[in-house]
Structure 1
């Protein structure tokens, strides 16, 4: 069986709308910014199901939504795919739901908590029930033990968990391994010591300690002192050393022995020296917890593992190995794993189907059927969604661009306009000329009633050059007369003359329709491409023209030629009759590969900072309007 859904009302950041979180049978990854509700989901599961370390959550006033203790917290879990044995355990608690022509058993668990305001001070009381409507009996204590989950908290002290001590986590895990106490409980002369069970080792150790000659001599001295110096003549008292716990039952003896164990790195068989670091301790701790799941698989029992921030203290390559191992473990075996993460690296390598975004108490699964992504989109994103793009899962708004020019330049422009991407929690994603539509669809819900709250701006080129551009940027033999151009089917570019007014309108509409929808808005270049549009908007202003030409020259020529080339370009631009001609001349440097778009964007960002810092309105009037609109959209309320 597995936890297929969780409903939460009035718990922490979740209001009384009845938020439903759907989980996968294998791995589910909860992603989102801080205080979005991820830990609240994990704690809600722990409250209802209990944990294998028998941890307990005390309900406080701040666990109620808006700290309103007149409300009632309600948490409901639904389990499906129960095995025959599991159905037998929960027989009187099952609900049968119709799937097609078949009645399928499932298990509903309802936990409710409210404050008794009539008491001073008020105190919380909780109730537990089953059934779809919560009118069924609570399961037996034995049955509830099958539901306990293994939980690894965030910021855990993994090193201490693996050390010896009373009630150590390591001893709790090891004691649950079947067959642990196989062997003989008493030592016989001539016996191979390896035939002893753990209880046998304890008994032998206790006997050897109590009967040690040095201790026996000390005991004899103690008896002599008592008899000669402390007691009366007829008092008969003899002492003996007794090892604490030697009269305990076998289970207590086993626990006492296991609590002496540390989990340490064998430094003779590894390159590691010194104390184990936090990251390695975390990995060892998770490996130890997975022992419980391995044994559950052997016994054909369902098991549940919750991990908050598995990436804690773990470097990138180990993170990749860890998440892929957890995903494979969950898919290939009868166990469910739910994790929370703040790591774009982890989010980038798990299947999109396994990700659930959590934002301000709203839960938005990315599994098939919940988004506008189709099967091909999922395959594409799983292959090309890397860590630099996966930060979109944690963003408050997203701006998607199609090239390095926009990716390098837009953060600076946004900062100068007072809309810093960092300050507004905006993620910039460069899809490198392909896949803009696919990334945009991540944020479009199949159910348009799903509230999302994440604004997405898609910035793209118009890809239609002015009629003068072919002769300036491609070949001088091309004139304004389209008859001098190659046939449409023989070229990979289009100019304005190739479109009627109706066709031009349809072209723009088609570009927008690829990604537009819900809170995703496409911003198309005003004229052609980024660099052309920057020139078109800025060459008429002396200050911006200076910044554009200076950046272009610095990335195109050796330093000793900068002054001369700057004057040459200014003169050439001034001699051209129209703004389209001048902007096309500027873009010629990129079309003919004289300048790198990425290098120019980086250098132009420096020039803008030098020239326009603190001059928001002046800069805004000299920039392409589509860039300004896109930035203001993702930064707006």
Structure 2
């Protein structure tokens, strides 16, 4: 059996939906049988989903859980009087084997499956808020009313839960009701809790030896040379005698534990053999211990674990090893895992089909039945969706670009126009020049009636149409005039957009050829010219940076070139062609280094360049993309 679906009405950020006179859950989420990884920015609802599950099916640690006033949904912009008075959370379990179904017969429903009829179990929490008090029940059944679950059945539904910022060392240390003792008490190794268990013999022997020591004797009852233990106990008992009332004399003995299994297990600790271990290693030990409960051989309850911030205290390689193991374990052993993470490393490593993106009061599974991704897209993204790209799952907006130059330069332009990407939660993702379609489909849902992602995605791409000047370089090349004979360029642009755009994905195409060529046509031409010559000297030098002498040489060369152009009345198009084609491309000057140099030049005088960037038609597509993803209406 596994948790198939969770539905939430009016719990925290998830409200409810009114449609055609019917009330629908604010969140209706389908889960995978094995591994589920919840990702998303802060306050996107990951913890709310985990807590909704904990409150409904409870936890193996028997922690105290109580609904609070703030758990009732308060619609955005509403005053306190608009806070909901009802909560409903439904957990639906499917996939029952016969030996599992027998435990829930009174509460099971039957539905038509793919091939035959199948069991399902619907467990729900219903809560009301009235006159400052909160009342709630947990029931189960196929109808709306359901029936109360007895204690034995509720125990079979309890989930393993690891909270964020967990103190793994404390949880595995000896103490009353320690998590370790709870895990061991439920394990098959301790199913026989009578006095025949080997641990009873061990503790009984230890207790006797300790008791003898404080009587001044060894394990064989012989007198010890060291009487200090005996004197200590006699002194304690002397005080107790003075404190006692008549006919009720107090007395004491030292021992390790009372001779019952619960007390014995509470005295045990589990620690790593090496003493030089940190929080990350203890976290791994704690997770390993919790897996004991999930893999009990004869257990017929739900095998579900909720782990918040699975990456807690773990470095990169440890995260990768852990998620690799858990992904494989969940696929083959019948356990179900629901994890939350803020780690792009984990988000990039996991199979995309197992990922659930939490966004604006909704949760979006990334399986093929939910997205517009094709089977080939999943294989491609599995190969190339690395940690630098996976930050898109935690963003409020995303800009997809096709090269290093855009990746370096666009954040600088955003700073200049007072739209810093980091402050607006926008991630830059360099996808290469052929992968826009694959990455954009991540953000497009197959069925929009179930909601769409409220993440604005801008795809910035080159027009890739060479100017007619290129004919002087190569007569065989198809240039702007050649292309327009076959089809208007604007139609070609619209066709490219139509392949990618949809929902919140928009495409921004350069007006002419490439990013660098369009900048060369703009009011930033001289700055690009300078950056190209700086880049040439940097990539041809073993030294880092430029000397003042080299900067002066560049400035003189540029002054001379502009003087010549002005004397010959060279048009702007030819100047741009020289800077981009003759200098950059023909001399193979690095686009990335050039962009870095240009960024440095622009950063020194942001306020000076701001009006130029905002008003230049050649840079307009970049400005629009930045403004779109930062929720700013384009003004140029």
Question: Normalising TM by the smaller chain, what interval?
Answer: 0.7 to 0.9
Sort the Cα spacing of 1:219 and 1:617 in 2 relative to 1 into closer, same or farther, 3 A: closer
Partner of 2:53: 45
CA contact (8 A) 1:184 1:197 kept: no
CA contact (8 A) 2:517 2:576 kept: yes
Equivalent residue runs for 1:274-289 within 5 Å: 274=276, 276-289=277-290
Distance in 2 between residues matched to 1:347 and 1:284, nearest whole Å:
22
Partner of 1:143: 153
Distance in 2 between residues matched to 1:328 and 1:185, nearest whole Å:
39
Q: Deviations over 1:6-46 (max 9, x none)?
A: 01111111112211011100001111111111101000000
CA contact (8 A) 1:181 1:199 kept: no
Matched, 1:635 2:630: yes
Equivalent residue runs for 1:168-247 within 5 Å: 168-180=178-190, 185=195, 197-212=198-213, 213-214=215-216, 218=230, 242=253
Partner of 2:11: 11
2:596 pairs with one of 590, 596, 602:
602
- CA offset at residue 441 of structure 1? 0.7
Partner of 1:378: 378
- CA offset at residue 184 of structure 1? 9.8
CA contact (8 A) 2:399 2:460 kept: yes
Partner of 2:66: 58
- CA offset at residue 200 of structure 1? 1.3
CA contact (8 A) 1:181 1:198 kept: no
Partner of 2:462: 461
1:581 pairs with one of 574, 580, 600:
574
Distance in 2 between residues matched to 1:61 and 1:600, nearest whole Å:
57
1:146 counterpart SS class: helix
Partner of 2:226: none
Matched, 1:553 2:533: yes
Q: Deviations over 1:194-249 (max 9, x none)?
A: xx7011112222233334451698599969x99xx99xxxx999998655697x6x
Matched, 1:256 2:263: yes
- CA offset at residue 301 of structure 1? 5.2
CA contact (8 A) 2:210 2:255 kept: no
CA contact (8 A) 1:301 1:334 kept: no
Distance in 2 between residues matched to 1:221 and 1:601, nearest whole Å:
80
Equivalent residue runs for 1:502-513 within 5 Å: 502-513=487-498
Distance in 2 between residues matched to 1:236 and 1:605, nearest whole Å:
90
2:148 counterpart SS class: coil
Matched, 1:126 2:136: yes
Number of equivalenced pairs: 585
CA contact (8 A) 1:202 1:254 kept: no
CA contact (8 A) 1:576 1:582 kept: no
1:393 counterpart SS class: helix
Distance in 2 between residues matched to 1:221 and 1:320, nearest whole Å:
54
Distance in 1 between residues matched to 2:154 and 2:335, nearest whole Å:
17
- CA offset at residue 139 of structure 1? 2.9
Distance in 2 between residues matched to 1:14 and 1:347, nearest whole Å:
24
Distance in 2 between residues matched to 1:567 and 1:170, nearest whole Å:
76
Sort the Cα spacing of 1:526 and 1:137 in 2 relative to 1 into closer, same or farther, 3 A: same
2:122 counterpart SS class: strand
Partner of 1:153: 163
Matched, 1:366 2:366: yes
Structure 1 spans left out of the alignment, 5+ residues? 187-195, 268-272, 479-484, 539-543
Sort the Cα spacing of 1:178 and 1:553 in 2 relative to 1 into closer, same or farther, 3 A: same
Partner of 1:313: 313
Q: Deviations over 1:320-369 (max 9, x none)?
A: 11111111111111110000111111100111111111123111111111
Distance in 1 between residues matched to 2:408 and 2:416, nearest whole Å:
14
Sort the Cα spacing of 1:101 and 1:220 in 2 relative to 1 into closer, same or farther, 3 A: closer
Distance in 2 between residues matched to 1:236 and 1:94, nearest whole Å:
59
1:500 counterpart SS class: helix
Partner of 1:541: none
CA contact (8 A) 1:464 1:496 kept: no
Partner of 2:507: 522
CA contact (8 A) 2:602 2:609 kept: no
Matched, 1:84 2:91: no
Sort the Cα spacing of 1:520 and 1:44 in 2 relative to 1 into closer, same or farther, 3 A: same
Q: Deviations over 1:570-613 (max 9, x none)?
A: 34654463322221111112221431100011110111112333
- CA offset at residue 503 of structure 1? 4.4
Structure 2 spans left out of the alignment, 5+ residues? 18-24, 75-79, 224-229, 539-545
Distance in 2 between residues matched to 1:65 and 1:338, nearest whole Å:
23
1:456 counterpart SS class: strand
Distance in 1 between residues matched to 2:555 and 2:529, nearest whole Å:
11
Distance in 1 between residues matched to 2:8 and 2:460, nearest whole Å:
38
- CA offset at residue 398 of structure 1? 0.7
CA contact (8 A) 2:9 2:15 kept: yes
Distance in 2 between residues matched to 1:365 and 1:608, nearest whole Å:
41
Distance in 1 between residues matched to 2:175 and 2:263, nearest whole Å:
9
1:266 counterpart SS class: coil
Equivalent residue runs for 1:387-536 within 5 Å: 387-449=387-449, 450-471=451-472, 475=473, 478=474, 485-486=475-476, 494-500=479-485, 502-536=487-521
Sort the Cα spacing of 1:137 and 1:555 in 2 relative to 1 into closer, same or farther, 3 A: same
CA contact (8 A) 1:69 1:115 kept: no
Distance in 1 between residues matched to 2:555 and 2:334, nearest whole Å:
71
Sort the Cα spacing of 1:181 and 1:99 in 2 relative to 1 into closer, same or farther, 3 A: closer
Q: Deviations over 1:109-128 (max 9, x none)?
A: 111111232xxxx2111122
